[in-house]
Copies of this chain bind each other. A is one copy, B any other.
Amino acid sequence: MTSPPPAPFSRYPAGSAAFPHPHLLGLAGLQPWEISFLLDEAERWVDLGRSGAVKKADVLHGLTVINAFFENSTRTLLSFEIAGKRLGADVVNMHVAQSSVKKGETLIDTAMTLNAMRADALVIRHMSSGAVALIADKVDCPVLNAGDGWHEHPTQGLLDALTIRRRKGRLDGLIVAICGDIRHSRVARSNMIGLATMGAQVRVAGPATLVPQEVELLGAQRFTRIEDALDGADVVMMLRLQNERMDGTFIPSAREFHALFGLTATRLALAKPDALVMHPGPMNRGVEIDSAIADDPERSAITEQVEMGVAVRMACLDVLTRKARGAEGWA
């Protein structure tokens, strides 16, 4: 299924010179047309990935992309590494475990060092909210936020939006229920912002301890019963419950969480009959989501999300480096 032309309010201006942001630090502050533009660009890379054996483009040949991950990650790092390599870039990974950070170097000094190696793009994951923006302020090249603290994870927000848009044909007017640990989730945050920007109606649901009042400032409706949030929803997005939240501080136990908030067939029946089920992974099967739902090819878009992740990251790396490559404008 290919995407339709963007909705009018998200149509990007004819004849514009370029995507107007130097970095991708979050979805907050992006215009609808800017998000549409990134999603449209990503579509091209979805097609390339499916077009047979050769998945390679040459657009970043000779450029250096540094993935600096100050927090462990498998999926996101792998996804960015594959994206960079498929675009022809030289990709190097900097792992926190071997990092100078352990030696007491300041974050800004680390940024200056990466910059001095003449990186053409920096992909940064950090455990502190705002750390990526701090780095972006100090370097000469585009910075992509691969997740910072509880703040944002914009490429996850974009890949989720792309997955929904491809399955549902649109984003505006959809009811999207995001369920689970909202408080500690940068995924939830980027999705709330991105989907609301694109005209979707976002609901969030979870235990009261895990759903802060502040979500209403982001345009989301707040529920403490998942059933209310699921009622009539077009999309159900379940979040991963971190093990460290299951120790009694936030919820009594994983079993209790499943009883009250896990996505079961009974609960899913409250949503629209063709409601889409999503999860950013890795899943705790039997905790936040039942296996039968996760594995239902009609309802679940979970593996498609992973595929869209590579395409979205290719699009962001391509678009953000265009200025330096002298390749401004629309592709």
With contacts A61-B54, A74-B98, A78-B94 taken as known, whether A109 is within 8 angstroms of B310 at the C-beta atoms is no
Does A21 sit within 8 A of B, measured CB to CB? Answer: no
The answer to whether A61 and B72 have CB atoms under 8 Å apart is no
In chain B, what residue has the closest Cβ to A327?
B53
Known: A72-B98, A74-B99, A78-B117. 15 other contacts (CB 8 A): A53-B321, A55-B64, A56-B90, A64-B86, A66-B78, A75-B100, A79-B117, A97-B97, A103-B240, A105-B281, A105-B283, A109-B281, A112-B306, A115-B303, A117-B307
Does A285 sit within 8 A of B, measured CB to CB? Answer: yes
The answer to whether B62 and A54 have CB atoms under 8 Å apart is yes
Does A267 sit within 8 A of B, measured CB to CB? Answer: no
| Cross-chain contact of A117 among B92, B120, B306 (Cβ < 8 A) | B306
Q: How far is the CA of A324 from the CA of B49 in the complex (A)?
A: 13
Does A133 sit within 8 A of B, measured CB to CB? Answer: no
Closest Cβ of chain B to A199, distance in Å, is 28
Does A8 sit within 8 A of B, measured CB to CB? Answer: no
Q: How far is the CA of A116 from the CA of B86 in the complex (A)?
A: 15
Q: How far is the CA of A139 from the CA of B285 in the complex (A)?
A: 20
Q: How far is the CA of A53 from the CA of B318 in the complex (A)?
A: 13
Which B residues touch A104, using CB under 8 A? 243, 282, 284
The answer to whether B92 and A82 have CB atoms under 8 Å apart is yes
Closest Cβ of chain B to A257, distance in Å, is 14
With contacts A82-B90, A92-B78 taken as known, whether A285 is within 8 angstroms of B53 at the C-beta atoms is no
The answer to whether A326 and B53 have CB atoms under 8 Å apart is yes
Closest 8 pairs (CB-CB, A-B): A54-B62, A105-B282, A56-B62, A116-B306, A100-B282, A85-B90, A116-B303, A53-B325
Q: How far is the CA of A68 from the CA of B195 in the complex (A)?
A: 34
Chain A 49-71 against B: per-residue CB contact (8 Å), 1 yes, 0 no?
11011111000011110100000
Which B residues touch A306, using CB under 8 A? 112-113, 116-117
Closest Cβ of chain B to A62, distance in Å, is 3
Q: How far is the CA of A326 from the CA of B51 in the complex (A)?
A: 13
Does A43 sit within 8 A of B, measured CB to CB? Answer: no
Closest Cβ of chain B to A305, distance in Å, is 8
